[in-house]
Amino acid sequence: MKAEIVNISSFGIWLYTDGKEYFLPYEKYPWFQDAKIREIQNVQLIHGSHLHWPDLDIDLETDSLENPEKYPLVYKPSKDDTYKIN
The domains of the chain are located at 3-70
Say if residue 85's pLDDT is above 90.
no
Mean pLDDT computed over 25-30: 93
Alpha-carbon distance 73 to 45, whole Å? 23
Q: Cα dist. 69→11, 24, 45, 73, 81 in Å?
A: 21, 15, 22, 9, 26
Mean pLDDT computed over 10-29: 95
Tell me, what amino acid is at 5? Answer: I
Say if residue 22's pLDDT is above 90.
yes
Reported as type and span, the H/E element at residue 60 is: strand 58-61
Provide the CATH topology of domain 3-70.
NE0471 N-terminal domain-like (3.30.2020)
Which pTM does this prediction carry?
A: 0.79
pLDDT in tens, 34-62: 999 999 999 999 999 999 999 999 999 99
